[in-house]
Structure 1
Amino acid sequence: MRRAARSFGAVASVYAAARPGYPPEAVEWLVGDAGRVLDLGAGTGRLTEALVELDRDVVAVDPVEEMLEELEIRVPGVPRILGTAEDLPVEDDSVDAVVAGQAWHWFQRERAVPEIARVLRRGGVLGLVWNRRDTSPDWLRAAGEIMHDRLDPSAAFASSVRVGGPFGPVESHRVEWVQRMSRARFLDLVRSRSPWLTAPPDEQRTVLAAVETLLVTHPDVAGADELAVPYVTYCFRTVRG
């Protein structure tokens, strides 16, 4: 986790610009009518921004200072707290919902779950969400192979999530949507992903060059001014007993 945090901090501005947001339908499903929401592992504020747009009172927690600085640019005025899921600097019974976007797989579950339960009010919701690219288009399947999608630590959590007591059964929901982006932004997306961030410099250069070549040679996208990137947003929620 510490190595990953350092890696993400080094490219916080790229992460902020490249990563996809979350569709309102998914965010509304996650938090229901919860008023005060803690965004855990908030990063640069993609999920925070979506919550603010739904008029929720949000507190953002992240272990990387550079990420929180980018969050302040994206969502000015949201309270930012430097902290981790395993040691939350938040008062007991103080929030109606805790959410984590693209982050649960980094947490130490046996330590994080009791901390989340501590800060949640009884009947509060824990909502977990991941964006995954839909690789059914051939060019995205090929890009995923180059980008080592199989090494993405979030992949195992897109189909099922375990939480445990004092939380109840886990419900799931999925939303399909499309994001349009420039070629430059797609390359930034490559640079923002953990398999690329933790790779040696030579491998990073090789991956980027291969993706650039794909974008100018694959018949589905060669010559396109804009790329249509389909996503599936996987949502999970459970209620604190």
Structure 2
Amino acid sequence: MPARRLPAPGEGASPARRRRRFSRPRLSLIGGSLDYEEAVATAPPGWRHFSIRDVERLPDAVRRREMARIPRGEGDDRVVRALFWTLVYHLAPEKWNELARFEPIHPALVEALPQSLDTALDVGAGSGRLTAHLVARCRHVTAIEPSTGLLALLRRRLPQVALVAGWAEALPVKDHWSQLTTSCASFGPDPAVLSELRRVTAPGGMIALVNPEDPDWFEAHGWQRTTAPPMAAPEHPRWIDEFFGPLDPPRELLTTRVERQEARR
């Protein structure tokens, strides 16, 4: 399907150049979600706030999974840079929460999501940036998140949401449960993850990814792409830019429907 771009106020409907820059990734090295060299090269300035000792502080299962992706003989700084986001999620979840607060999802993307549904699933929910919008649109919402710190923040923010600790590659959800399966800046075209998203989505249901890694891949494989105009981040503390780099609120949406014959496989 062709990409759809939402015009800015006063702007015509002429096509715009596609942008490859997206908001903070809720990514890890797990399952090829983020290339190791890319992770090292793109680590935000805040990586210097961590050390190799912090890697040892990660939960055992998380540390084993992440370190399995790192080549042998790597220097400490490169390891820390590569694991920056994982360190933030698990050791400094309040920093991620503040970042998400000041990088809100573009309202046009939220409006593009279906409403009045019975069930919705948010994968890699973080502290609830996208989950909060699902609560207003769906009767039963479940959030999947591997970070216990982020889950605690989400529980306080949205006590009505069912919370489950889990990984996207093996979702602890029964087949075809969700009418709307979502994620915000959590992963890219990982075969294991996409297979799980389709498994848990009901026949005729929608999978909606906000700011996924490599959106061109999704569009090339038939996903509907919606691009909203750039939106300035709200006024925020200076430390956020110093730690994470310039803010860039999410403004890309990739969606697909799970066909009924596909769901029966």
Deviation at 1:232, TM superposition (A): 5.5
Deviation at 1:171, TM superposition (A): 0.3
Match of 1:115 among 182, 186, 196: 196
Structure 1 residues 212-223: aligned runs within 5 Å: none
Structure 1 residues 218-237: aligned runs within 5 Å: 231=249, 233-237=251-255
1:173 maps to 2:226: yes
Cα RMSD after superposing both structures: 2.7
1:96 maps to 2:179: yes
Change (3 A) 1:97 1:68: same
C-alpha offsets along residues 137-174 of structure 1, whole Å, 9 cap, x if unaligned?
xxxxxxxxxxxxxxxxx6x52x524389xxx7200112
Q: Distance in 2 between matches of 1:32 and 1:77?
A: 18
Q: Which residue of 2 aligns with 1:18?
A: 99
Instruction: Give the conservation status (yes or no) of the 8 Å contact 2:184–2:209.
Output: yes
Structure 1 residues 65-104: aligned runs within 5 Å: 65-104=148-187
Change (3 A) 1:171 1:163: closer
SS state at 1:104 partner: coil
Q: Which residue of 2 aligns with 1:126?
A: 207
- Under a length normalisation based on structure 1, what TM-score does the superposition of the two structures give? 0.64
Instruction: Give the conservation status (yes or no) of the 8 Å contact 1:30–1:128.
Output: no
SS state at 1:46 partner: coil
Q: Distance in 2 between matches of 1:61 and 1:111?
A: 16
- Structure 1 unmatched ranges of 5 or more: 131-153, 197-210, 212-228
- Under a length normalisation based on structure 2, what TM-score does the superposition of the two structures give? 0.58
Q: Which residue of 2 aligns with 1:240?
A: 258
C-alpha offsets along residues 78-120 of structure 1, whole Å, 9 cap, x if unaligned?
1110001100000111110111101023xx7121122111111
SS state at 2:228 partner: strand
Match of 2:119 among 29, 32, 36: 36
C-alpha offsets along residues 172-204 of structure 1, whole Å, 9 cap, x if unaligned?
11223333213x2x422553x4xx8xxxxxxxx
- Structure 2 unmatched ranges of 5 or more: 1-27, 29-65, 67-82, 260-265
SS state at 1:67 partner: helix
Instruction: Give the conservation status (yes or no) of the 8 Å contact 1:40–1:85.
Output: yes
Q: Distance in 2 between matches of 1:103 and 1:31?
A: 20
Percent same amino acid among aligned pairs? 22
Match of 2:239 among 187, 191, 216: 187
Change (3 A) 1:230 1:117: closer
Q: Which residue of 1 aligns with 2:140?
A: 57
Structure with more strand by fraction: 1
SS state at 2:216 partner: coil
Change (3 A) 1:56 1:171: farther
SS state at 1:15 partner: helix
| Count of residues paired in the alignment | 175
Q: Distance in 2 between matches of 1:50 and 1:190?
A: 28
Change (3 A) 1:187 1:31: farther
SS state at 1:83 partner: coil
Deviation at 1:33, TM superposition (A): 5.3
C-alpha offsets along residues 190-219 of structure 1, whole Å, 9 cap, x if unaligned?
53x4xx8xxxxxxxxxxxxxx9xxxxxxxx
Change (3 A) 1:89 1:122: same
Instruction: Give the conservation status (yes or no) of the 8 Å contact 2:106–2:249.
Output: no
Change (3 A) 1:94 1:232: closer
